[in-house]
Structure 1
């Protein structure tokens, strides 16, 4: 199966499952961390340390770290959208909203990603993809349910999360369009490091200097973000985007907010209701549709 397949390969399915768990659990973790660590300092520190860690792993594995000079400008745009735009906007957004609601708004990303992929990548908006988009967004709306009033009570948080989703969508489409000739590990490390440095430099001016050491739960949250949320999940996501069409990867990623809502219920005491079960059915249906499960004549294709 080539990278142009319209279905998820076995490798892509494993990556998707890991991403759903890794990033889904990270939403309540982020909420805990920003209660003590200012948002810009939090994201800048995690990106820089995580980026250095990924580059070190790439080096120890014997992979090349050299980025072709002709791709410098493209790399900077990827950094601006995927790292700076998404991380800054999402971190401030989650500080103003409950973690579950922030995750849901962040995962309106396919709403922007699918039309952008049609425009910039020439991907076709087939009937199956349109149906999957409707099912997936229906699931997100179902998860919002009674939270609509809560969203309206914090319009700035909503605006930040929607802008974050748009930045993420642009970054995904440009990553797929440009196909920078660099191994995924080194590409991920450079994106994280180059995105984190300006945030870390700006943090003391925006957030001020830290006044105390973080508590043990917050320290563990920082460690989780660096190792799982950034080093592993960003690599896995970049790999997934390069494996399959953007419409497939973006719609399949809708499983993540289900994990985010479940994690919020366990960690932060939010109670799931019938909306969560309806959303699960709609989102899982969207993932099944976009991957052609049950489509006649396609189940046994490789």
Structure 2
């Protein structure tokens, strides 16, 4: 029996890009939504990121062509990984502090691991069970503190958990289908296809803005396009295809820790004992899933 796979140095680099890029993005979203409506913010930044990614691929001389047989699966990945995830999570962060929203969004491994066992035949060994229990306990501690408040106004929590479920579905399907595309065009097409429905919806829901947003909001929009979407989605897609779903999804639990910290530093949010305990449990989950085993290929 082969030893379990853990993150290689290359995989850790991809993970760190996602941790800090996506971790700070929750604070950026919360800041930008004061001036830019949710659908407009996500739609414009995802569309710009998709177009720029594909243009870079073409400028490098590589092909962005996709075989006709792969378009339905590519569209389904765009639906789960870009459209559903971004719409649900962006509206969810309107009703929650950015750090709390980030932690709820990363209930994703709680859905991802059982889905990977079902659809990918990944083993649920003792190491993964312990890591899943620790990560789940971190989420439970967080939810337990405000469970009565969430029952009275549950919309934000429902949106974030629904976003996490969609992301988990997209991640497992991407691993299952393994489309024969390089990571850059795969990322670019997902972003472009996922953003296209958001643009007309933004015009209908948000309307035409009466004036240009301020410099800070435009900087947040640029950060979202270049870092949150273009860079982090590329790194995440590479990571997902390099290691088992349980390893990548549980390791991604480090991301909301950056969200909690940045929310405290830049938005004045005050983490309490629940956040501190959740941090310890999540760190434990990531440590357990990456202890021992052989490193993933550095592809």
TM-score scaled to structure 2, two decimals? Answer: 0.94
State how far apart, in whole Å, the 1-side matches of 2:144 and 2:211 are.
Answer: 39
Give the match for residue 257 of structure 1.
256
State how far apart, in whole Å, the 1-side matches of 2:289 and 2:138 are.
Answer: 15
Give the match for residue 97 of structure 1.
96
Q: Structure 1 residues 230 and 269, CA, compared in 2 at 3 Å: closer, same or farther?
A: same
Give the match for residue 208 of structure 1.
207
Instruction: Work out the number of aligned pairs and report it.
Output: 296
For residue 299 of structure 1, report the CA deviation from its aligned partner: 7.0
Give the match for residue 127 of structure 2.
128
For residue 168 of structure 1, report the CA deviation from its aligned partner: 0.3
What is the Cα-based RMSD across aligned positions, in Å? 2.0
Give the match for residue 193 of structure 2.
194
For residue 141 of structure 1, report the CA deviation from its aligned partner: 3.1
Q: Structure 1 residues 172 and 138, CA, compared in 2 at 3 Å: closer, same or farther?
A: same
Q: Does the alignment pair 1:69 with 2:72?
A: no
Native 8 Å contact 2:7 2:296 kept in 1:
no
State how far apart, in whole Å, the 2-side matches of 1:95 and 1:37 are.
Answer: 12
Deviations 1:64-103 (A, max 9, x none): 2111211111011101111111011111111122211211
Give the match for residue 238 of structure 1.
237
State how far apart, in whole Å, the 2-side matches of 1:168 and 1:23 are.
Answer: 14
Give the match for residue 39 of structure 2.
40
What's the secondary structure of 1:253's corresponding residue? Answer: helix
Q: Structure 1 residues 301 and 168, CA, compared in 2 at 3 Å: closer, same or farther?
A: closer
State how far apart, in whole Å, the 1-side matches of 2:4 and 2:128 are.
Answer: 14
For residue 270 of structure 1, report the CA deviation from its aligned partner: 1.4
For residue 164 of structure 1, report the CA deviation from its aligned partner: 0.6
Native 8 Å contact 1:5 1:245 kept in 2:
no
**Structure 2 gap ranges (5+):** none
Native 8 Å contact 1:79 1:191 kept in 2:
yes
Native 8 Å contact 1:22 1:233 kept in 2:
yes
State how far apart, in whole Å, the 2-side matches of 1:82 and 1:301 are.
Answer: 23
State how far apart, in whole Å, the 2-side matches of 1:28 and 1:143 are.
Answer: 19
Q: Structure 1 residues 252 and 39, CA, compared in 2 at 3 Å: closer, same or farther?
A: same
Native 8 Å contact 2:22 2:228 kept in 1:
yes
Native 8 Å contact 1:63 1:183 kept in 2:
no
Which segment drifts farther, 227-236 or 30-39?
30-39
Give the match for residue 107 of structure 2.
108
What's the secondary structure of 2:6's corresponding residue? Answer: coil
Give the match for residue 12 of structure 2.
13
Q: Structure 1 residues 276 and 98, CA, compared in 2 at 3 Å: closer, same or farther?
A: closer
State how far apart, in whole Å, the 1-side matches of 2:294 and 2:235 are.
Answer: 25
For residue 152 of structure 1, report the CA deviation from its aligned partner: 3.4
